[in-house]
Structure 1
Amino acid sequence: MGAPLRKIIALAAMLALAGLSPAIADEAKPFTDAKVVNLTILLPPPPAADSMQTKSEIAAVLALQVERTPEELKHAQADDEETVWRFGGELFGAKFDKAKLPKFAAFFDRIIETEAAVVDPAKKTLGRLRPHLVSDLVRPAVEPSKSGSYPSGHTTLGTLEGIVLANMVPEKRAEIMARAWDYGHSRLVVGIHYPSDIEMGRISGTVIAETIMRQDDFKAEFEPAKAELRAALGLN
């Protein structure tokens, strides 16, 4: 048995004794979860599938399906990527490089896990059917999902990322928050959400941001991530 293999086995044994696997040890930990930010209590219940509001919202989705330009569709399809790199790439350009931003990347891994920890349980409980599962006239332009539609997870994450990034780079606050708005709108353009899903996603992202920004662990990781990003972007 070679020395590298013995080291790997030894590391795995140490992690096992600690009750961890290598995969679990590397996982990002959310800053909060659905026990703290319970969206099923904070948000109004979604409209029923046969309600006038849902019918009106489906009509809005269908209108976008006809009116969207090829450029708008391409942009919205690219926004299906649920990462801070997609969110911020158009804002910050080539300097926004994951390989050169390890502290920032690790911090935003926790942001992404936070959105999932809060939103996924709420989606399961609230159980709103996606537009294409209510009307066969709706044809999603991204991979169809059968998970709950309400609130929009992409929009929640985009809003959360936008608020945090705007606090890191206040010089571009207007552009960052416009991008957050656009990131949510992309979910309508591709026909995978209702307008009210997007609205509730924006509310959810704001509530999550306001909750975690008060926490000591958030503050401790925010400052180094901010400094690293600003240095990479050439900002004082």
Structure 2
Amino acid sequence: MKFHLKKTISLALILGIVSLSYASYQSGGYLPENEVVNTTSIIGLPPSNNSIAFLNDKAISEATFSLDKNSQEYIKAIHDASNDSDIHIADFSKAFGQKLSKEDTPAIYNLLQKAIVDANNAKNIDKDYYKRKRPFIFFDKNPCDLSEDPSSYSYPSGHTTRAWTYGLILTELKPQNAIEILKVANGKGQSRVICGVHWQSDIEAAKMVATINFTILQTNEQFKKDFKNAQKETSKR
């Protein structure tokens, strides 16, 4: 999966999305603070409460709150609510065609862990800017994971940003498995809707944030070096 880097980066510069961050900066990624991607102008406002798009968000979320709590979808949503990145990386193993972990694929693991710091920095700018309430707050319901912070914001989805970032990188490493890999990433995003902590439009915005951030990362020299090291760990499947 190749991206049109020059076109995307030009658009980013025109719209001023490589800019000062409004959220607190987390170090440990590839991008210095002054290169953190600000995608607020790209993802735009979340749907307003009187819009057709929000009616769609509401209908989807209302349906998920009535799901059987013993269903496979709900059980998966509880699993996907984890904040443990090791769990989420391992969940891509079957689709990727080999075991992914700090011990088995250290170069791939390092690449994913560093890239997600940059994605999180970008996502946090949007969350702090738009301050959208989560569905379980709006409907006064319980999320699938009762430890969810009711004061945190919904738009875009952080878990989906992470899953889509992992998916895009792993797809670039092994494009022949792209469909299987992105199915995993997409499923993790949908789990957040089932869990009651995100609207459907949060998920779509998160995919865009992850895609833009991934495109910018491909211009970073250290990312490119780490990517080449990660390629050495990939099997042919």
TM range (shorter): 0.7 to 0.9
Q: Match of 1:205, as an amino acid?
A: A
Asked if 1:215 is matched to 2:216, the reply is no
1:80-107 CA-partner distances (Å, limit 9, x unpaired): 2345543343442573232232222222
Rg larger for? 1
Q: Is the 8 A contact 2:89 2:166 kept in 1?
A: no
Report the more deviating stretch, 63-72 or 127-136: 63-72
Shift in alpha-carbon separation, 1:34–1:208, aligned structure 2, 3 A: farther
Asked if 1:80 is matched to 2:84, the reply is no
Shift in alpha-carbon separation, 1:151–1:34, aligned structure 2, 3 A: farther
- Structure 1 partner of 2:154: 149
**Which structure 2 residues correspond to residues 19-38 of structure 1 after superposition, within 5 A?**
28-31=28-31, 36-38=36-38
Which secondary structure state, in structure 1, belongs to the residue aligned with residue 40 of structure 2? helix
- Structure 1 partner of 2:9: none
Which sections of structure 1, spanning at least 5 residues, go unmatched? Answer: 1-26
Asked if 1:60 is matched to 2:63, the reply is no
Q: Match of 1:133, as an amino acid?
A: I
Asked if 1:190 is matched to 2:191, the reply is no
- The structure whose residues are more often helix, as a share, is 1
Asked if 1:102 is matched to 2:116, the reply is no
- Structure 2 partner of 1:17: none
**Which structure 2 residues correspond to residues 201-212 of structure 1 after superposition, within 5 A?**
201-212=206-217
Shift in alpha-carbon separation, 1:175–1:70, aligned structure 2, 3 A: same
Shift in alpha-carbon separation, 1:53–1:139, aligned structure 2, 3 A: farther
**Which structure 2 residues correspond to residues 221-236 of structure 1 after superposition, within 5 A?**
221-228=226-233, 230=234, 234-235=235-236
Shift in alpha-carbon separation, 1:33–1:189, aligned structure 2, 3 A: farther
TM-score by length of 2: 0.77
Aligned-residue identity in percent: 25
- Structure 2 partner of 1:41: 41
RMSD: 2.4
Shift of 1:52: 5.9
Shift in alpha-carbon separation, 1:79–1:62, aligned structure 2, 3 A: same
Shift of 1:129: 0.9
2:40 and 2:78 map into 1 onto residues whose CA distance is: 29
Asked if 1:140 is matched to 2:152, the reply is no
1:44 and 1:95 map into 2 onto residues whose CA distance is: 37
